[in-house]
Structure 1
């Protein structure tokens, strides 16, 4: 198969783990990734594959030795962009260098009786995923109610996929972002 043929195939075919139904037991959530963006009122979480100018992916490591992509939960009446800017600063000490490119979202339904936060939609919600150029120019602010980030590390796309391989769909999400960016 040629590269041209491979790239012209559907993302669902190239990234089967990303598009597979997910069960996130930690939140009693059934989730499914879609390229279509959800309505703003359903977006509860925003996460970013942040690329440094040299093409590395910014990852964060918390005090429990867990690697993750920066992002998090929207606050009441917070815009998607404001949430993204805040979460990048809090978790990665980073700032946007350009506008994010939205890859898609995990549409999710929880079987929990109440929303995670009182202002969030329930039982349906969405996690928005995107990529953008970022600059790590300070230390994470580590607010009291967030993860304790102990390390921020720009790594190659392959290294990021390896560090996030605890869920295979995360490696495929990074590959989709890298493909779109042209890494």
Structure 2
């Protein structure tokens, strides 16, 4: 059995679409970071998205855990031309697409960006590789809200739309297990 401990990166305080733009996380709440680090398995392997907000969060909680190189495949959704725009501006620019993108996740893409299915395929490949290389171990994956939701979808058997309904706060932990019977979803959005 391999346990995956998904940690959403620290807050960015962005009020707009933030996909592949490389904005830093606010990691100034040292007490909370210490609580998160204490909650995670002490002998876990730690890996993160290569975006600075996730990578630095992983560094902050790693402690004596083995820290693997960052993985580009764990990046947030590429929102294309929407990245950096606020939600009202996106709705004005693409009124139908901006609604359908969230309500009918699947193959719809943000302009010059990625679809739900594209991101899930990309993330699944990284997760499958990690599970094959580190079978039976605890793996902490520091990533992004969209990435975590694709894995909730994978583990829960829900629809993509239902998976997107989960609250995933910054510095929260979502636990997923891969065992002999397949995937299972544990705690979602645990706040340490």
TM-score of the aligned structures, taking structure 2 as reference length: 0.26
Q: Which has the higher contact order (CA 8 A, sep 6+)?
A: 2
TM-score of the aligned structures, taking structure 1 as reference length: 0.27
The structure with the largest helix share of the pair is 2
The structure with the largest strand share of the pair is 1
